[in-house]
Chain A
Amino acid sequence: ELELTQSPGTVSLSPGERATLSCRASQTVSSSYLTWYQQRPGQAPRLLIYAASNRATGIPDRFGGSGSGTDFTLTISRLEPEDFAVYYCQQYDNSRVTFGGGTTVEIK
């Protein structure tokens, strides 16, 4: 069964800094099915990046996704106050959906 491992578990950064979040799969993942979500406290997850590198509607261009195979990255170029949240990667394969454990981006 395919597993997604996100690292780090928590990262402490200041507004304006760059955040680099990793998502590693236990098997090769199709880029078409690698997705990133943002979840702010008390809110439902929100689609950020789909197909590994495509920003969803309304997502600012400071969010970027990259990667292929088993290694994927979400980059936030300059953190805004509203970006401090939990980020999840997710993959779809063989009719199954799997989420990573999440990375918390907290204010330093």
Chain B
Amino acid sequence: QLQLQESGPGLVKPSETLSLTCTVSGDPISHSHYWGWIRQPPGQGLEWIGNIFYSGSTHYNPSLKSRVIISIDPSENRFSLNLSSVTAADTAIYYCARWGISWLGESFDYWGQGALVIVSS
């Protein structure tokens, strides 16, 4: 059974960089899927941040693209999110997920439990 687990600081100061890691277990990350980050501000809806392929190819939400870097480490079976110059508006639960690809369609089929990150001084 595939499992994903987010980890990283729960508190980040304004203007600094938010860094989270998603560790994948139950399947090699190098299998042919994309891996993604999604966030959810408290009491609000879901916002896609970006996806990364095992080869390192990335796609980012245009609204966040200038501040986001997603990287992948197949040797450690994990991928990471860096979001720079954070403000209070970046306070959210951050989810990592697998973008599953089948002959029928594509979707986020496995999700981590989420990590709350608060931006505050």
Contact = CB atoms under 8 A, between A and B. Distances in A.
Nearest to B93: A44
Nearest to A54: B104
A1 B59 CA distance: 15
A41 B114 CA distance: 13
A96 B104 contact: no
Q: Sort chain B's interface into a size bin.
A: 20 to 34
Residue of A43, A46, A56, A95 contacting most chain B CB atoms (<10 Å) = A95
A47 interface: yes
Given A97-B36, A97-B51, A47 B45 contact: no
B45 A101 contact: yes
Contacts of A43: 113
A31 B104 CA distance: 9
A63 interface: no
A32 B45 contact: no
A101 B47 CA distance: 9
B48 A98 contact: yes
Contact of A45 (B46, B47, B51): B46
A35 B107 contact: yes
Contact of B46 (A32, A54, A56, A99): A99
Contact of A50 (B45, B51, B107, B111): B107
Interface of B: 36, 38, 45-48, 51, 59, 61-62, 95, 102, 104-109, 111-114
